[in-house]
């Protein structure tokens, strides 16, 4: 069964215009540039190509799902989520090798990634305190 491409695959750098990046590189003797089958697509291109994606207005270039959050709710920082996803992808690739890295696509879906982002941000807030001055305090043993 063939798996569909997700935005999180794109964030991990596994998606090209032709689908997933192949395991074995395809090298042409007639070209001196890399094949486009090995150039990862940016995540926003993958997102806005989805069937139910919002209309993209490049002058605004935003995804407005945050409008549906309750009062006081916030999404985790996008850079944190990208870093977290890249770390997990690299972990699976290092732990299980190239073929085993495909296992990770079930381990960190959108909900799990957002939940981990929220937990990390909340832990950081607790550790740093309101003003951030706790970063200079050593923990008591």
Count up the domains in the chain and report the number. 2
Same domain, 1 and 54: yes
- Record the pTM: 0.53
The residue to which tokens 């150039």 are assigned? 39
Same domain, 46 and 102: no
How far, in whole angstroms, is CA 38 from its chain's centroid? 18
Burial class (CB in 10 A: 0-12, 13-18, 19+), 15: buried
Domain boundary among 20, 41, 63: 63
The better pLDDT of the pair 106, 13 is held by: 13
Residue range 13-38, pLDDT digits in tens: 778 777 777 766 666 677 666 565 66
The tokens for 95 are: 């732990």
Give residue 110's domain range: 76-135
The CB density around residue 112, as the number of other CB atoms within 10 Å, is 13
For the stretch 53-69, pLDDT in tens is 767 666 555 556 667 77
Q: Which has the minimum average pLDDT: 56-60, 72-76, 95-99?
A: 56-60
């Amino acid at each position: 069964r063939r798996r569909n491409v997700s935005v999180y695959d794109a964030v991990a750098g596994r998606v090209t215009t032709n689908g997933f990046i192949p395991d074995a590189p395809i090298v042409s003797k007639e070209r001196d540039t890399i094949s486009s089958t090995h150039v990862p697509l940016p995540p926003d291109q993958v997102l806005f190509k989805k069937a139910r994606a919002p209309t993209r207005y490049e002058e605004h270039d935003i995804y407005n799902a945050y409008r549906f959050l309750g009062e006081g709710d916030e999404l985790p920082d996008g850079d944190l989520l990208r870093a977290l996803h890249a770390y997990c992808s690299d972990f699976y690739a290092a732990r299980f090798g190239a073929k085993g890295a495909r296992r990770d696509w079930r381990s960190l879906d959108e909900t799990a990634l957002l939940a981990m982002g929220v937990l990390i941000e909340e832990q950081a807030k607790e550790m740093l305190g309101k003003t951030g001055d706790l970063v200079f305090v050593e923990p008591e043993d």
